[in-house]
Amino acid sequence: MLTALVFTPTAVALLLFALPRRTAPAVFRAVWVTASAVELVLVIAVWAGYEPGGGMQFEERARWIPGAGVSYHVGVDGLSLPLLALTCLLFLTCAVYSLRENRRIREFAALFLFLETTCLGLFVALDLILFFVFFDLSIVAMYFVIAGWGHRQAARAALKFFLYTFIGSLALLLGFIGLYLAASPHTFDMVELTEQNPLAGRSAYGAVVLLAVVVGLAVKTPTVPFHTWLPLAHVEAPAAGSAILAGVLLKMGTYGFVRIAMPMLPEAWRRYALVLVVIGVLSVLHGALVALAQTDFKRMVAYTSVNHMGYVVLAVGAAAATADSSEQARSLAVTGAVTQMVSHGLLTGALFLLAGVLHERGRTYDMGAYSGLAAVAPVFAAMTGVAAFASLGLPGFSGFIAEFQIFTGSLGPQPLATALSVLGIVLTAGLFLRALRQVFTGPLRLPDAPGTPRAFADLRVHESLAVVPLLVLAVVLGVAPRFLLDVIEPASRSVLELLAR
């Protein structure tokens, strides 16, 4: 089941190349959308068959490279299932959004389908090397997306993205090897490593391994000070690429924290949790402040990602910071962290797609070039408004649920850090409101660059079809989050049990 879920997109991508070159672009688009829709159906089927609180399910295991302690081992639990669903949804919306994409549609579709495989594979992987393989392949695929379909500085942005995240991935690999060698018998299997806790009582070794793993994941997340690749990559990537990059790829880092670092290195994690809290707070504040200084809409959204992922890092750090705070509070923090991953994926995905709309119409992201768009494009304005308010954490949206949980859970163990982080909400509220005022209110003004159409068209059908489901889901999660939380909570409790060893 999971194997089919993971590898179907790549199979379809290969199929696209088997079609003759002359095939009409519409066929490629149709295949792409259909394949993504099938993936969504598959993941819904997995969700329907999932037993909340039943631990790891749908496990599949096969011998792969026994000589190196590597096996093909996949499965889902409450941590990975929401991210799987998010991945499938975002890829479908990107496919729908790209219905008007004309530039080498076959390669574009194939790359996205391949990217979908790597993302899904990463979230179901229960073997460190399998995890790493998908982690690296996602970088390769995203590199080609940025380099091939990005804006003017795409080549530079792609290279920077690749080099940074690849360095991170190698740090991660060294950490994995450290875990592998510590275990006896040597293995890369995550479940066995989690059970064995091989670095218990070896504080120096554990610290080094944790450092390697955390650096690797922090680059991908990204947290301060490893975030510098992010703005450029986001700004230069095509809209669908940015949506996936922010919506799914960034989650790989934070997912790694709760899946690998916390359960496998509990001692070291507890000892250095304060460092993570500090990094989290710095990311929150730095991301918000820098976003406040941006005039470029997409860049601003990119920096708010640093801010939002900072909350996640704060939460996973705070969950381990002190043992005397209540079990419930810490569980709330971890649950909030996972919810925030889902919520951020939905909202940033929507925001980046909307930024793509803005660029497609006006050929620039500069907020100063626009004014009064609400008059000519009311639907676009409304969507952007909803996405922005949701993103700044207004009650009734998923972001509120996530941030509320994170703050409530973290306040007990880390009052000062949490108080500082709450400032981040104020800052993001300010910057989103300012951006909305600038772009949508006032007298109508459009960028007057050569090649821009005079009229600013409102959202087209396929664009609405892509954005609306994301926002609807964000509202649904904000109003009735139980169905998601029921899945996440048992898993986050078990993470905390593992952490307490």
Give me the residues that bind another protein (CB under 8 A), please: 17, 63-68, 70, 129, 132-133, 136-137, 140, 144, 147-148, 155, 159, 162-163, 166-167, 170-171, 173-174, 177-178, 180-181
Closest contact distance (angstroms) between CB of 400 and another protein is: 39
Closest contact distance (angstroms) between CB of 343 and another protein is: 31
The distance from CA 8 to its chain's CA centroid, rounded to whole angstroms, is 21
Q: Is the Cβ of residue 119 or residue 290 nearer to another protein in the bound state?
A: 119
Q: Is the peptide bond before 225 cis (omega within 30 degrees of 0)?
A: yes
Q: Is the Cβ of residue 133 or residue 274 nearer to another protein in the bound state?
A: 133
Residue 336 tokens read as: 């909030």
Closest contact distance (angstroms) between CB of 333 and another protein is: 33
Q: Is the Cβ of residue 147 or residue 402 nearer to another protein in the bound state?
A: 147
Closest contact distance (angstroms) between CB of 104 and another protein is: 9
Angle between helices 482-499 and 297-321 (to 10 degrees): 50
Residues 122/115, Cβ–Cβ less than 8 Å: no
Closest contact distance (angstroms) between CB of 176 and another protein is: 9
Where do we find the tokens 């409304």?
382
Where do we find the tokens 């089927």?
45
Q: Is the Cβ of residue 88 or residue 137 nearer to another protein in the bound state?
A: 137
Q: Is the Cβ of residue 17 or residue 483 nearer to another protein in the bound state?
A: 17
Closest contact distance (angstroms) between CB of 33 and another protein is: 23
DSSP 283: H
Residues 248/345, Cβ–Cβ less than 8 Å: yes
- Whole-angstrom CA distances from 459 to 239, 399, 402, 466 are 15, 24, 29, 10
Could you give the CA distance from residue 237 to residue 128 in angstroms, rounded to a whole number?
Answer: 29
Q: Is the Cβ of residue 147 or residue 377 nearer to another protein in the bound state?
A: 147
Q: Is the Cβ of residue 162 or residue 440 nearer to another protein in the bound state?
A: 162
Residues 298/246, Cβ–Cβ less than 8 Å: no
Where do we find the tokens 């994301």?
470
21 contact partners, CB below 8 Å, separation of at least 6: none
Closest contact distance (angstroms) between CB of 12 and another protein is: 17
149 contact partners, CB below 8 Å, separation of at least 6: 103, 104, 108, 237, 238, 241
Q: Is the Cβ of residue 84 or residue 171 nearer to another protein in the bound state?
A: 171
Q: Is the Cβ of residue 207 or residue 382 nearer to another protein in the bound state?
A: 207
Residues 1/46, Cβ–Cβ less than 8 Å: yes
Closest contact distance (angstroms) between CB of 253 and another protein is: 18
Closest contact distance (angstroms) between CB of 65 and another protein is: 4
Candidates 432, 452, 442; CA nearest to 354 is 432
